[in-house]
Structure 1
Amino acid sequence: MTDELDPVIHPAHRLRIYAMLAAGTTLELSVIKDHLDLSPSALSKQVAALVDAGCVRQERLGTDSRRVWLSLTRQGTRAYRDHGAGDDSHR
Structure 2
Amino acid sequence: MDPQFDEFLHVPARLSVVAVLAPADWVDFGFLRDAIGTSDSALSKQVSALSGAGYVEVHKGQDKRARRTYVRLTPEGRQAFQRHAAALERIVALSRMPAPDGEPPAGPG
> Does the pair score TM above 0.5?
yes
The separation in 2 between residues aligned to 1:15 and 1:22, in whole angstroms, is: 10
Q: What is the SS of the residue equivalent to 2:41?
A: helix
Q: Which has the higher helix share?
A: 1
- 2:71 matched to which residue of 1? 70
- Residue 4 of structure 1 deviates from its aligned partner by 3.6
TM-score by length of 2: 0.70
Q: Structure 1 stretch 67-76 or stretch 17-26: which is displaced more? A: 17-26
Question: Does structure 1 conserve the Cα–Cα contact (< 8 Å) formed by 2:28 and 2:69?
Answer: yes
Q: Structure 2 regions of 5+ residues with no counterpart?
A: 91-109
Question: Does structure 1 conserve the Cα–Cα contact (< 8 Å) formed by 2:21 and 2:73?
Answer: yes
Question: Does structure 2 conserve the Cα–Cα contact (< 8 Å) formed by 1:8 and 1:49?
Answer: no
Matched residue count: 87
The separation in 1 between residues aligned to 2:39 and 2:79, in whole angstroms, is: 28
- 1:56 matched to which residue of 2? 56
- Residue 36 of structure 1 deviates from its aligned partner by 1.4
- 1:44 matched to which residue of 2? 44
**Percent identity between the aligned chains?**
36
- Indicate the structure whose relative CO is greater, using CA pairs within 8 Å and at least 6 residues apart: 1
- 1:7 matched to which residue of 2? 7
TM-score by length of 1: 0.82
Question: Does structure 1 conserve the Cα–Cα contact (< 8 Å) formed by 2:13 and 2:46?
Answer: yes
- 1:82 matched to which residue of 2? 83
Q: Structure 1 regions of 5+ residues with no counterpart?
A: none
Larger Rg computed on CA atoms: 2
